[in-house]
Amino acid sequence: MLERFDGLWASPGSPFLGTCGGVQYTLIECARNVLGIKDADTAENDSGSKNIIIYPVECAVPNRAPGAPKLSGAGPEIRLRPGSYLQSLYLADTVVEEFFCNFEANPEFEWCSIEAGFPVTARDPKREVRAIESPTHRFFLASLFQPQLSSKPGKPHPLVLGFVQSAADWKRKRLDDGILA
C-alpha cells in the first residue's frame, strides 16, 4: 500500500521524517522490534510497563505560555553531531528549534537507539536527546523538535527541504529503474 508514496512524514524503506511524537514512537519501535523489548512504551500510555522509553519532560522551558506543554516554543541551543546528516542539512554546528511536547526520551533507555543503529545526532545543553538518524538509510531522521513550526512560505525549514528533496530523488530513481509505470 505504501509503494505509491515517495516519502513518509510521521508527525504528532523510503525517506522518513519523524517529529515530536514521530521520534517518540520511532524510539519505542526500535526497542520493541529491533531489540526485543516487547513492553517498551511511553509514560503517556500509562501501561504499567517497566520499560518506559519515553517519559515526561523534566525541566520546563522558561517563559513558556501558560498551559503550554513543558517543552514549548524555542528551546535552548541544540548541538548537532559533527558529520551527521542532520548537520549537513543545517550547515551549522548548533541550532535553536521550536518544540511543543510534554514527553521526551528517557535517558536510561538512550542505549536502545544506539544499539538499534540510530545514533543520537542532536542534544540540548543538558545532553538530552533531541534527534536521531540512521546512517544506513537514504533519509531517516527523527527529532523531538518540530521543523513544521518554523517553516514558512518562501523559507522552508532545512529538514523539510531535505525530506522533500530525498523523496523526489527516490521517486526519480524508481522511475529510472522502471519500478513506477
Quick one: 163 exposed, middle or buried, by C-beta within 10 A (0-12, 13-18, 19+)?
buried
Order across the sheet with 94-95: list the strands. 8-10, 16-19, 140-143, 129-133, 120-123, 78-80, 94-95
Q: Is residue 35 part of a domain?
A: yes
What pLDDT is stored for residue 181 in this prediction? 52
What pLDDT is stored for residue 10 in this prediction? 62
For residue 4, give the DSSP letter. Answer: G
- For residue 5, name the pLDDT band (cuts at 50, 70, 90): confident
For 68-109, write each residue's pLDDT tens digit.
999 999 988 999 999 999 999 999 999 999 999 999 999 999
Q: Is residue 50 part of a domain?
A: yes
What residues contact residue 70 under an 8 Å CB cut-off, 6+ apart?
A: 56, 57, 59, 60, 61, 64, 101, 102
Which stretch of 57-66, 112-121, 128-137 has the lowest confidence by average pLDDT?
A: 57-66
What pLDDT is stored for residue 11 in this prediction? 53
- For residue 170, name the pLDDT band (cuts at 50, 70, 90): confident
pLDDT exceeds cutoff 70 at 8: yes
pLDDT exceeds cutoff 80 at 174: no
User: Cα separation of 108 and 162, whole Å?
Assistant: 31
Where in the sequence is the domain holding 22, given as residue range(s)? Answer: 15-176
What pLDDT is stored for residue 115 in this prediction? 95
Pairing of strands 8-10, 16-19: parallel
What pLDDT is stored for residue 161 in this prediction? 94
CATH of the domain at 100: 3.40.50.880
pLDDT exceeds cutoff 80 at 179: no
Q: Is residue 4 part of a domain?
A: no
Q: Is residue 7 part of a domain?
A: no
Count how many domains the chain has: 1
Taking residues 3-21, report their average pLDDT.
78
> For the chain, what percent of residues have pLDDT higher than 90?
73
